[in-house]
Amino acid sequence: MGVTQLKTASHKSESDAPDVEQTVRDILADIEANGDDAARKYAERFDGYSGNLVLTRDDIDEAASQVDPQLKDDIRYAYDNIRAFAEAQKATIGDFEIEVRPGLFAGQRAIPCNTAGCYVPGGRYAHVASALMTVTTAKVAGCRNIVACSPPQKGKGVHPAIAYTADLCGADHILAMGGVQGVAAMANGLFGLPKADILVGPGNQFVAEAKRILFGRVGIDMFAGPTDSLIIADTTADPEFVAWDLVGQAEHGYNSPVWLITDDRALAERVMSRVPELIATLPQMNGQNAAAAWRDYAEVFLCDTREDMAALSDRMAPEHLHVQAADLEWWLKRLSCYGSLFLGEETTVAFGDKASGTNHVLPTSGAARYTGGLSVHKYMKLVTWQRALPGAVAPLAEATARISRLEGMEGHARTADIRLEKFGGSQHADRTALIRS
């Protein structure tokens, strides 16, 4: 494969501070042992908030009154798109029954989790899109209880736009709590809330670690690392679009990798020159994040062929993959490892992040090799059932008993034997003796 690396990352986006795990374990243990009081203690310490922790209807209505009408329209536009896509996803799975052999029936049921806990980042910024993505899909999936949890602004409570959005999307409860304490409150069913069966939604390294530790006791959407994005661009791509799309994703955080794969050296050099200039135009905090991400984590690759480009992309398995190249159908059919795919310069990752309809909670750190992102399916259990008519029992019991004895599982075999004796017909005694021999 012909690949030349034109820009190399000086850091790898994979290591958290070594004390994160122990810090999170200590907080989780304290909250599990001491319940509401411990969670409230951490809310006061880390969130700087001692107000009402579970929003009342009056709290939500007051929050909604503070949201600009145009922003409400924009949120509803995004909500309608996300709900429509989630409903279409749900329609792809369902219950069925099959007669495997005459008289032997098996089936599947798709059953939603009872309670979903949806973490919505807040605090400095109002991440309404995370409420849209997590709460809407849980509602469409059919979860009976949906708890939305978001860090309060210091001394003020949950950001009004987040409260409005979570309520619009179908949250049954909204918890004004962030970080590990918020995750623990949902997992343990504190403050009179139902215990979560599954925890979903993005968050900082402490939130991600809390979900990782709790996995098993509860389900989670995925193990999340820093967000990452890759652009594939050929000679037809507009360097300005490519540069801005890299910058837009780099502003997520100082350790958010962005990558460019191209077969055009001139385009690569133009983009590498242009990105720092564009970063300089961003507001200070955004610019600092983007500058660090570009300097320390960004990589640029020059490939000989489009097959080389596709193969390299599949190996990297990005969270977001944006193709700005000719023959989009070829890329759609060829590429196989990504969280979400964006085709053509007419779209951008930000569309998917905010409003186009697909979910923005996606696999990071190469996990797209084996999993997709959040969807209604994550909230649903595909369970199976079976039943048999008497006439179907004999061959099933015989096969089961022989396989069980081969494996040394005599108890298993005898559960088959007794059914063969009862339902195997006039020859059951001979058949039972034969398979026991």
Q: Which residues are catalytic?
A: 319-320
User: How many of the other CB atoms lie within 10 Å of CB of 166?
Assistant: 32
CA angle 182, 187, 188 (to 5 degrees): 100
Question: b/e map of 206-232 (b: 16 or more CB within 10 Å)?
Answer: bbbbbbebbeeebbbbbebbbbbbbbb
DSSP letter, residue 153: B
How far is it, in rounded angstroms, from Cα 362 to Cα 382?
Answer: 21
How far is it, in rounded angstroms, from Cα 298 to Cα 308?
Answer: 19
**Contact, 109 vs 383, CB < 8 A?**
yes
Q: Which one, of 166, 122, 72, 74, lies nearest residue 356 by Cα?
A: 74
Give the pairing type, strands 115-119 and 104-112: unpaired
**Contact, 31 vs 38, CB < 8 A?**
yes
Q: Which long-range contacts (CB under 8 A, 24 or more apart) does 244-249 make?
A: 244/278, 245/322, 245/324, 245/348, 245/349, 246/271, 246/275, 246/294, 246/298, 247/275, 247/278, 247/279, 247/282, 247/290, 247/294, 248/348, 248/349, 248/350, 249/320, 249/349
φ, ψ (nearest 5 deg) of residue 118? -110, 110
CA 315 to chain centre: 20
Q: Which one, of 171, 233, 190, 182, lies nearest residue 207 by Cα?
A: 182
Determine the residue type at 349.
V
User: How many of the other CB atoms lie within 10 Å of CB of 236?
Assistant: 12
- CB neighbour list of residue 4: distance below 8 Å, 6 or more residues apart: 301, 302, 303
Both tokens of 6, joined, read 């034109």
Strand partners for 321: 230, 341
How far is it, in rounded angstroms, from Cα 320 to Cα 350?
Answer: 10
- H/E element holding 24? helix 20-42
- CB neighbour list of residue 375: distance below 8 Å, 6 or more residues apart: 86, 89, 137, 359
